Amino acid sequence: MQNIIAANHAKSKTKFTETYRVPCVYTRLFGYGANSGCLTQASAFARPTARAAAENPLTVSVPGSKSITNRALLLATLANGTSTLRNTLFSDDSRHFLKCVQALGFATTIDEENQIVTVTGCGGEVPLKESALYVGSAGTAARFLTAYLGVSHGVYHMDASEQMRRRPMAPLLSCLQELGCEILYDSPGSKGYFPFTLKSHGFSQNQITVDIEHSSQFLSALLIASCLSEKNFTVRVEGTHGMAYIEMTRKMMEQFGVCTNRTASDCFFTEAGQRYRAIDYRIEPDVSAACYFYAMAPLLNLPVLVKNVHFSSMQGDVEFLRILKRLGCRVIDRQDGILALPPENGSYQGITVDMSACSDQAITLAAIAPFAQTPTTITGIGHIRFQESNRISAIVTELSKMGVRCEETEGSVTIYPGHPKPSLVETYDDHRMAMGFSLIGLRSEGIVIANPSCCRKTFENYFQVLENAIHSI
C-alpha cells in the first residue's frame, strides 16, 4: 500500500506536502469522461454494476472501535486483576491512551499483530501518585483520564496536542474542582484548557451537575469514575448531546461489573460499594469506520457488506444505516454482517435529518449529499463545531470550493445537489474530513485529500482498505 499511496501523492501548496488523489471509480464503472462530475441519474444508472448482485457485495473489514477500545482500557485499569482486550484498535488515539496507562504504573502487555492488550488493574487505585501524561489529540483519553485522576489521590500534570489544547475541558474541570480537586494551569490564559496539573484528594461531595452541550465525554468520564466514591453518587446533566455514547458507557460499565442507573432523563445514580472486575473482552468493529464504506451503496450503486457489524452494536453510529434506508437503500443484518443494498432505481432523494445521535457521520452524509436529487439538511450538530475541527465550517468551506451550494446555521447545514469540481480538500488535521470527503472523489474526478495521514488518529490504514475495496470492484 505504501507504493500505491506514494504513486498518488503530489506536492501541495498547503502546509502538508502529502496528498492523496482519490481514484474516480464512478468513471471506471460507467465509462463516462473524467470531467463528467455529477452525472444525471438517468444516464448514470443506465448500466448495471459489476457488483449488482447481493450475493456478491463489496466486502470489507474495519478495525476495532475507538470508542469501545478507550473505554475498555480505562475500565481495565479500574478493575481488580488482569483484563484481556481483543480486537483492540491500534491508532494514534489508542496508543496515546495506552502510553498514559503505562505512565501511571499499570502493567500491560501489547500484541499489535493479534490486536490483543492486557491491563492489570489495581481495583481503583493508581499505582503512581505522581506522573506527567500527554494525551495527544485523543478526546477520550483527555476527558476520561482527567476525571479518573481528578477524583483519585495524587499529583498529575496533563498536557495535549495543539489541537486538543483548543478543545473544551472547562465543564469537566469545573466539576472536578467542586469535587475537591485543585487545578493549577500552566498559564493564566489556559484556564479551562490543557495543559494543567491536577492535585486530587478523592470526592468531597456525592453529587455534581455537568454541562455536556459540547461533549458527552464529560458525563461518560464522571460516570466511569463514580464508583470510586465512598458514598452513593449522583450526576445531573445539562444538555442532551451524545446520549448514544452515554448508553455505550453504561453498558460497558455493567459488562465490567458496575451498574449506574438513569433515574430521570437528566439524572444518573451510582450505588456505592460496586467494583469493576477483570474480564476477557472482545471489542466490536468500529461502526464509524464502517459507515464510509456503507455510504458507497447509494453513492456508487453497489451492495456493500462490512464484516461483523450488526444492529445489536452498542455504537450510536449504527443509526447511519437507518439514514441510508431513508435514502432508498435496503439494509439486511446477516450472520456475517450488515449488508447495504443500493436504491432500486439507482438514485436517491435528499432528506432532512437530526444527526445528534450519530454526529460523527454528519461529514459522511454531507459528502454524498451533492449527488442526491434534492437538498439535504443535517440538524442537531452544533456541537461538532468544537471537535477536531469546526466541522460545520469545514463542510461548507470544502464543498463551496467544489462549487456546491451550502447554507449553514449554528447547528445545521443544508447541501444542494451539485457537480463537484476538482479540488484540493483541506482536512484541518481532522480524520473524519479526510475519510468522509474521500467519498466525493470516488464519484467526481480531481478530488485530492490533503494530509491523508491524519486518519492515523482512528483508522491508520483507511486509504489502504479503501484502495483494496476499489480494486475489488
The three-state secondary structure class of 118 is strand
Asked whether 295 and 301 are in contact (CB, 8 A), the reply is no
C-alpha cell at 1: 500500500
- Tell me how far apart the alpha carbons of residues 261 and 267 are, in angstroms, rounded to a whole number: 8
- Tell me how far apart the alpha carbons of residues 455 and 465 are, in angstroms, rounded to a whole number: 12
Q: What is the dihedral of CA 428, 434, 438, 441, to 10 degrees?
A: 20
Instruction: Provide the annotated active-site residues.
Output: 360
- Tell me how far apart the alpha carbons of residues 147 and 145 are, in angstroms, rounded to a whole number: 5
- Tell me how far apart the alpha carbons of residues 405 and 396 are, in angstroms, rounded to a whole number: 8
- Tell me how far apart the alpha carbons of residues 26 and 20 are, in angstroms, rounded to a whole number: 17
Q: How far is CA 240 from CA 334, 345, 359, 382, 448, in A?
A: 33, 38, 13, 12, 36
In 3D space, the residue among 242, 213, 239 whose CA is nearest the CA of residue 359 turns out to be: 242
